[in-house]
Structure formats: C-alpha cells, structure tokens
A and B are shown apart, each in its own frame.
Chain A
Amino acid sequence: MKGTYLGELEELVLLTVGILFPEAYGVAVMDEIEKQAGRSLNISAVHAVLTRLEEKGFLKSSMSEPTEERGGRRKRIFVLTATGKRALEEANELRTQLYNQIPKMALQFRLA
C-alpha cells in the first residue's frame, strides 16, 4: 500500500463520495464534482481515482440493483471507510492548522 498520503484529486473525490452517500458511483461522482468544483473530468479518470482510493482502503464498494438507464447493468456504490473518514479529517486539520499559522499581516493585503 502506498501510505495514506492523499492527492488533491483524491481528496476531492473522497469528499464527493461522502457528500453523495449512499448513492456515490462513477457518473454521480463525476457530475457532482463538475457541479460543486466546476471541474469536468473524464469518467475513466474518476474510475481510476475511485479504484485507487479503494485499494488504499479509504473506500469500500458494493454492487447495487440493476437500473434501466444503464441497460440493466448494476452500479458499483462507494462508501467511506473509517480510514477514509480519518484521512479526510487529517487533511482538513492539517489545512486549518497551516492556514491559522499564516501571520495576520500576510492576509491583510487588501488594506495596504
């Protein structure tokens, strides 16, 4: 396993999977990212990230019931695992922590 380092796109996908619970699968994740972050990804890229996250243990998946719109095929539904949740929290914490360390002066450029 590659360790728990979370890439930028991985983090985005992971968050989206959390948002979409319990209906997170390839196309839905792709649509949600486009809607929320304005980034249009190719479906294959989303699949690649989802598989990678599952390999890292941040996600787990199961097959849904067949649906008409997919020509009777099932979806693979992804949900966050405990490690996935912790990874998100850690990433979030790290960010906040780093953000808070920025001196106030550095952020007051608008007044200058």
Chain B
Amino acid sequence: MKISPPRWADRFLEWYCNPALLEEIQGDAYELFYRNAKESERKAKLSFIWNVIRFFRWKNIKKRKPYQESTILHTAMLKNILTVSIRNLLRYPGHSFINITGLAAGFSCAFLILLWVSHEYSFDQFHTKKEQLYKVLTHVDANGTIQTYDVAGNNIDVSTVPEVESITRISSGNRWPHELCFRPEGKSNECIYFNGIYSNETLFSNFNFPILSGDPNPLNEPAQIAISEKMAVTLYPSENPIGKTIKIDDTREVLIASVFKDIPGQSSIQFDFALPFDILKKQWGIDDNMLAQQFFNIYLKTKIPVDVKTLSEKLNNEQVISAAYKAQKIKYEAYAFTDWHLQSKFENGHNSGGRIEYVTLFIIIGILVMSMAVINFVNMATARAALRAKEIGIRKVTGAYRGSLIVQFMGEAFFIVFAAFLISALVTQLALPFFNQLIGEPLTLNLLSDKMPLYLAGGLILIALLAGFYPALIISSFQPATILKGQLSNATTGSLRLRKILMVVQLSASVGIIIFGSILYRQLEFITQTNLGFDRSNTIRLEPTFTLLKNYDAFKNDLLGNPIIERVGASDSNPLNTGGGNIGVDWQGKSPDLRVSFKTIGCFYDFPQTIGLALLEGNNFRADRQIRDSLATEVLISKKAAGIMGFDNPIGEKITIGNAACEVVGVVNDFHTASLHNEIEPIILYRKKIFNVSAIYIKYNPGMAQQAQEIVNTAYKKIEPTFTMKYWFQDETFDELYKTEILASQLVLIFSIMALVIAIIGIAGLATFNVMRKTKEIGIRRVFGASITEVLGVLFKEFSWVLLFAVAVSAPLAWYSSTQWLNGFAYRTAIPWWVFAVTVAGAALLILIIIWLQGRKTICTNPTLALRSE
C-alpha cells in the first residue's frame, strides 16, 4: 500500500496556501515526506505536519482577491451615506428619539451600576501589602450554632507562628471612648466630636495610612495622638498642630505627634485619630491583665502571602489562642483582609456572602438592562428596515456590494450607539449627586482615568457590533429586484421568530426585575411593621456625659416636668442592636453540656418601662437603688430565657452572669435585639449602676420630635453647658440596621423603572412593526365587519405567546431568587401569588394600551385606503 501524508494536514495546506505557490510548496513537502517515509512512516508524517505548520506564513497565505476599487468607499459615497443616515434620523424623529433614549437609558443604568460595583470592589485595595494582611475572626460555639465575630482575643500570641511578621490590634467603636469631644484651641465652650481608634505601633506600618507630617511612628509613645488632616484643619485652622498638647475628655493631656492623610472612603478601617492602648487602659481604668482579656480587631501581616487554612490552623494552637479560650470552644480563623468588606456574613461558622450578594445582584440587573436596550435597538432597526428597502434596492442596483452596505449599517449603528453613549455620560454625571446621596458614597464619574477609556471604547465597539450586526446582515441581504417591485415578504424584514425570542428575553427581564423588586419592598414593609416586642418609636437616644449621669435624677425630673416627655430610662446597650451574646450565664439545674448565648442588657431600674416591655410575671426593678438585704443583682428575664432555663416559677430563682450572683424578679415578653435576619434570643435585663450606662432613652409624645429635642437640649445645657448634645432618634437607628436592604430596594426601584421604560420602548417598536405588516390584513378584516376590539385582539395575539413565555421563564427565576434573599431573614413575609398575577396582568394591560396607541390610526382609517395603497 502506498503511504501518503496525513490527509487533514494536506487539506489544511491546500486551504490556506496561495494557489500560485501551492504546487512548489506542496511538491517540496511531498518530496521530503516520501524521502523520510523510507526511514519511518511516523516520523515522516510528523515532519510533514510540522512543515505544513511552518509554511503557514503571511506570504504563503491565500489572500482574497480584492474588489476592484469597491472596498474603498469613496469620499463622495461616504458623504452620501452620512447624509442619508442623518436624514433618516431626522425624518422619523420619534423613532430616533425612542431609539437613542432607550440605549442611553440602558447605558446610564450600566454606568451607575459599574461605578457602584467598582467602588465596592475597590475597598481596602489601596494597601500595598494587601495580600499579606489577614483579619482574625472568632467562631464561638453556642449550643450547636456557631456565632462569628470580627474580633479576637487581645491575648492572642503569634510569636510562635513563623509566617506572621507583625500584628495590629485595633479597638474601635461608635461611642466613648472612641467617640470623643475635642475643643478647638481657645474655644473651651465648643465641642467637636471625632471618632478614633486605639491601636499599637504597627498601625501605620502595616496599613497604608500615610503620615503627612510629624512622627512617622506616633503610637510608640504612651501619651501621643495622631490626628487626621480633617481633624487638624478643624481644630487648628491656621496653625501647625504638631507638638501641641490636646486634652482628651478635658482631663488627659496628649501630644499631637503626627497628622495623617484622611482615611479614604474605601477603607474598612475608619478613624479620625489614633491613640495608643495605654490611653485606653487609663480611660477604662484597667490594667494590662484586664486589657489582655478584651476582644479587639486583630490584623496579622505575614511575610509572604500564605494559605489561610494553614494559618488558621496555627492560630488555633494552644500557645496562640490560649488554653482558656480553647476550652471554651472558641476558634480563630484567619480571613483575607481584602475579602472582608464584600464577604463578611457568616452562618454557622461558614462564609455566606455579605455585600457581594448585592454586588452580584446589581451586576445581573445591569447586564439585563443593558441587553434589553441592545435588543430594543436590534428590534427597532430590523423593523424599520422595511422602510429603507427602496434605498437599499437602489444602492444595490447602482452597484453597491453587500460588504459596503454592511459597513454602512454598522456605521449607522455605531453612530447611534455613540450618540446614546454621550447622552448617557451626561445623564450619569447629572444623576450622580442624587445617586451618591441615595447610596451615601462619594462616587465620581471619571471617564479618563486609568484604563477606563480602553474599557469604554471596547464596550462601545462590542455593543455597536451586537446591536448593528443582525440588522446590517438582514438589510444587506435584500434582493433588489423584489424590493423594487414592491414586494415585501417576511424574509426581507428579518426573522420574526428571532425578534420574538428577543422580545421574550426582554419581557422576562423586566417582569423578573419587577417581581423581585416588589417582593423586596414587601419584606421591607414587613420589617417596619413587625412588632419588635418593645417600643422604638418617638424615642430619643442620648449619649450622657459623666456629669450628666451624676445629675441623672435632676435631669430626669427636669424632663418629666414637661408634658411632652413621657418616660425616661437608661441602659448600657441599645435594644435595637445589642451586639454579641453572653455565654457565661449559669443557673441551678443547667445541664453541663448546654451552651446557650443570652443577650444581656445592663440597665437602670427605669429602662424596661421606658421601652415599653410588658411584665408577664413578678415585679419590675425597684425604684430604690438595690435590694438592701441581698447582694444579688435584680434581673428580669424574657419568656424565652425562662423557657430555656426551665423554671416553672422563675420569680426568686438565682442565676449567675459571669461571677455576679443575680436573682430573677420578673419575666418580660420576648423582643428582638438585632435585625430580623436573626432569631429572637433569650434576654436577661440586669440592674446596673447609673454610672455604667451608655445611653439615656427619652420617650416623647408622638409627632413632637422637634419640641422634644429642644426640651432635651435645654435640660442638657443646664448640666453640661460646654458640651454639644449627642443624640439619635431610635427610628433612624432602626433604619440603619437595614441600610443595605433599604439601599438595595431603592436601587432596584430605580432600575425597575428603567427596565420598564426600555420594555415599553421595545413593545412599542414591535407593535408598530406588526401593525405595519398587517395593514392589509386589518383592512380586509374591517371590510368584512370586524370590530375594533376584534382587530386589537388579532394584534394582541402576537404578543400573548411572547408574554406567556416570558412569564414562564421569569416567574420561577424571580421566585427562586427572592426566596433565596428572603431566607437571609429569620422573620420574613410570605411571597403572595398575587404579586405574580398583578405583574403579569399589568404587563398584558400595558401591551394592550401600547398596541392601541400604535395601531389606532391604522385601525380607525377607512380600510379602502389601506387596501388601495400599493
């Protein structure tokens, strides 16, 4: 058998090779093949393939014969094409307007989403050693469910972990001693609050918080402070603050050692000033030993990027975590610092998303809106093609090639896309302040920074290609003879099926977004209407000073002397968000295996009534200071806590919290102590001395917020004339809890409207096209006596299947994704079927209206006119 070279390689050669060179090249290749084949057939085949590949050079490649002159569009021709394009745009201003607006709306949405998403992704990315930074998380096993905290024990000892280069401890918070009042020099009556952190000397070396002037290592010394540029300018508008002393809490003097650059908004660590831990010890009045027992934000910097799993394992060594914590089933986890901002939600010890869920959601919405806009463009352009058929016919007859027609229509698409892009850039710029206000972030639109122009140009070209390709292909395929004879068939206006599929995609997207949005809204409604078990409305929360607490009774009486003020109470944690639980609660008969976390709220005797808790059994705290004849602290427990403790008659039972002996005096109703994402937990309210509370709660008459605030301020100034009152409304704090959800719902609302607008444009486009196509059919039907409603029905029929398909696609998806979202809440609203029904009915009605508006003229004109036109 005669051997021959591999067939595919030979064919490949024949395919690419310039015919003029093929014979000699193929000849040489064959000659070498037969020569090699005498030694080894395999080697010959391989070398043949190799040669074929090596021959694949620019010079040898077959070049398509260029059209004679025609690929070069003459300037005159270009001018003509441009003129015709502009005339076309101007002749149908409505159509052009809709077309450009639709695209611009899509672009604007995409821009805003892009800005927000890139902002979210830029968090903590400015640290040069970001890959070497890790945050230590703590998992606490509380009776089977694992709670995760973003703090770790201050006694963590990483000296035995070779990978770790240094450790940064940060103590942060919203209240004293992190939120401090500073007085500008010479104005001892003015008080400006700044929020700061306590940290160790590695803060400025491990993180990129550049120091502008002064000591590069300000936290080395025990009595130094580093302040931000903003703080420096506020306190010392005209002087250099370095070297000055400033008082903390009006008592403790510290030296301003350095000024650092304002912390960028994209940092998850925020502070206006930094103090060493020595100051914190003095503020709290604790020694080193007690400081070691605190939990702080712990950050590790490693020598090189390491595997988080191995690092986490090492952190759980007994020398590192301490034997005591190990015994308490506490576990540490090293977590990549840059992941924290977007993925900070933990469920049962495992990451379960976080903000990333919303980021993904909006990326999906952005893509959907964008593709809807592009689909619109394609639909409109192909539908309009019929109107331009004659132009194309003439162009073809006078010698236009298909290629040049494609170039023309792609060019037009590009022109419109570019116009829409410019408009949307303008719209985005104008909308940005409102958008920023909405999301509370300072986003800026900078089209010229970094690689932005590159991405934009790429995106533009891609979209123009997507939008222009199909119409250009369809339009340029017209047969001139048929067109000029005036016969327009379906084939000349593009595939109706494709157009319908696109319509299904579009409707699915808008129906889906709208259903999802309305469920989101219902859940938020549910949240605001849920009874939390205590009264959060019409309540001012006030941060007291020490002097104020000393004069608490006088202050309280002063307030209550006014009829607007209903009740006043004080506690050490806000019931809206009490923070971490306490697993150190013990009682008689507690099973040794039982590990349960209680929310403990330390409060003054008047607090439970102030927030309107209902007493189910026993008594409230006594008004006098304490039960004199007992050392035990009085506590109130919630119904759920009583259930867990298994007390039949809880009154008088003894429990311990940590080391403190307590006695149950009453049982109150269950109430929420965190957002509705979490289950209600068992609660213990214990008495606390007035000096240890953190906030005073003032309940006023409904609708009297302004007056109440003035009354409180007057009373406050009587006691603290030199301080500015720090206060919040509980309702606003409540909204803060659902900040992300509220933000998401507002964004979803905006984008639903956008999606709706684009969908309307799309439906309008298709409806116009259908009416146009069916002008004669409508005429004939009218002649035979069809009523207007019947004709409308015929037109609507085209859409009914599209709508049905769209609903079939989008409803399950919307249902699934909203169920997923709702599952994040322990307390959630049901998804009612009518949301789906109303959305679908609304869509159907909308389509009907649009068809009526578009088709009215055709349906109502005398049918003879329609039938006569040829």
- By a beta-carbon cutoff of 8 Å, the part of chain A in contact with chain B is 25-27, 42-45, 47-48, 51, 63, 69-71, 73-76
Count chain A CB atoms within 10 A of each CB in B23, B27, B35, B50 and give the residue with the most.
Answer: B27
In the docked arrangement, what's the CA distance between A76 and B27, Å?
9
Q: Mark B1-43, 1 if CB is under 8 A from A, else 0.
A: 0000000000000000000000111111111101100000000
B51 surroundings in chain A (CB, below 8 A): 42-44
Q: Given contacts A27-B32, A43-B32, is CB(A73)–CB(B27) below 8 Å?
A: yes
In the docked arrangement, what's the CA distance between A107 and B24, Å?
46
The answer to whether B59 touches A48, judged by C-beta atoms less than 8 angstroms apart, is yes
Interface of A is mostly: helix
A43-B51, A47-B55 known; 8 new pairs, CB 8 Å cut-off, are: A43-B29, A43-B55, A44-B51, A47-B24, A47-B25, A47-B60, A69-B30, A70-B28
The answer to whether A76 touches B31, judged by C-beta atoms less than 8 angstroms apart, is no
A70 surroundings in chain B (CB, below 8 A): 27-28, 30-31
Q: B25 — nearest CB in chain A belongs to which residue?
A: A47
Q: Smallest Cβ distance from A73 to chain B, in angstroms?
A: 4
In the docked arrangement, what's the CA distance between A26 and B54, Å?
14
B25 surroundings in chain A (CB, below 8 A): 47
Interface of B is mostly: helix
Q: Does B57 contact A (CB under 8 A)?
A: yes
In the docked arrangement, what's the CA distance between A63 and B24, Å?
9
The answer to whether B28 touches A74, judged by C-beta atoms less than 8 angstroms apart, is no
Q: Mark B242-271, 1 if CB is under 8 A from A, else 0.
A: 000000000000000000000000000000
Q: B53 — nearest CB in chain A belongs to which residue?
A: A44
B50 surroundings in chain A (CB, below 8 A): 42
Size of chain B's interface in residues, with CB distance under 8 A? 19
The answer to whether A43 touches B54, judged by C-beta atoms less than 8 angstroms apart, is yes
A71 surroundings in chain B (CB, below 8 A): 26-27, 30
Q: B22 — nearest CB in chain A belongs to which residue?
A: A73
Partner pick for B31 among A42, A47, A63, A69, CB 8 A cutoff? A69
In the docked arrangement, what's the CA distance between A43 and B23, Å?
14
- B683-731 CB contacts (< 8 Å) to partner A: none
In the docked arrangement, what's the CA distance between A44 and B60, Å?
10
Q: A52 — nearest CB in chain B belongs to which residue?
A: B59
- B387-428 CB contacts (< 8 Å) to partner A: none
Q: Given contacts A42-B51, A44-B51, is CB(A27)–CB(B28) below 8 Å?
A: yes
In the docked arrangement, what's the CA distance between A56 and B562, Å?
107
- B600-636 CB contacts (< 8 Å) to partner A: none
Count chain A CB atoms within 10 A of each CB in B23, B31, B35 and give the residue with the most.
Answer: B31
In the docked arrangement, what's the CA distance between A76 and B21, Å?
10
Shortest 5 CB-CB distances between A and B: which pairs? A73-B27, A44-B54, A70-B27, A76-B24, A26-B28
Q: Given contacts A43-B29, A43-B32, A70-B30, is CB(A48)–CB(B24) below 8 Å?
A: no
A63 surroundings in chain B (CB, below 8 A): 23-24
Count chain A CB atoms within 10 A of each CB in B28, B30, B32, B55 and give the residue with the most.
Answer: B28
Instruction: Offer 5 A-B interface pairs, CB within 8 angstroms, sorted by A.
Output: A27-B32, A43-B55, A63-B24, A70-B31, A75-B27
Q: B34 — nearest CB in chain A belongs to which residue?
A: A69
In the docked arrangement, what's the CA distance between A102 and B218, Å?
72
In the docked arrangement, what's the CA distance between A18 and B595, Å?
97
In the docked arrangement, what's the CA distance between A51 and B57, Å?
12
Q: Smallest Cβ distance from B710 to chain A, in angstroms?
A: 91
Q: Given contacts A74-B24, A76-B24, is CB(A48)–CB(B57) below 8 Å?
A: yes
In the docked arrangement, what's the CA distance between A63 and B30, Å?
17
In the docked arrangement, what's the CA distance between A25 and B55, Å?
16
In the docked arrangement, what's the CA distance between A42 and B23, Å?
18
The answer to whether A25 touches B24, judged by C-beta atoms less than 8 angstroms apart, is yes
In the docked arrangement, what's the CA distance between A43 and B60, Å?
13
Q: A45 — nearest CB in chain B belongs to which residue?
A: B54
In the docked arrangement, what's the CA distance between A47 and B59, Å?
10
Q: B23 — nearest CB in chain A belongs to which residue?
A: A73
Count chain B CB atoms within 10 A of each CB in A27, A43, A48 and give the residue with the most.
Answer: A43
Partner pick for A47 among B23, B28, B30, B34, CB 8 A cutoff? B28
B34 surroundings in chain A (CB, below 8 A): 69
Q: Smallest Cβ distance from A55 to chain B, in angstroms?
A: 10
Q: Smallest Cβ distance from B690 to chain A, in angstroms?
A: 93
A74 surroundings in chain B (CB, below 8 A): 23-24, 27
A75 surroundings in chain B (CB, below 8 A): 24, 27-28
In the docked arrangement, what's the CA distance between A27 and B29, Å?
9
In the docked arrangement, what's the CA distance between A70 and B27, Å?
5
B31 surroundings in chain A (CB, below 8 A): 27, 69-70
In the docked arrangement, what's the CA distance between A25 and B23, Å?
13
Q: B55 — nearest CB in chain A belongs to which residue?
A: A44
Q: Smallest Cβ distance from A42 to chain B, in angstroms?
A: 5
Q: Given contacts A48-B59, A51-B59, is CB(A73)–CB(B54) below 8 Å?
A: no
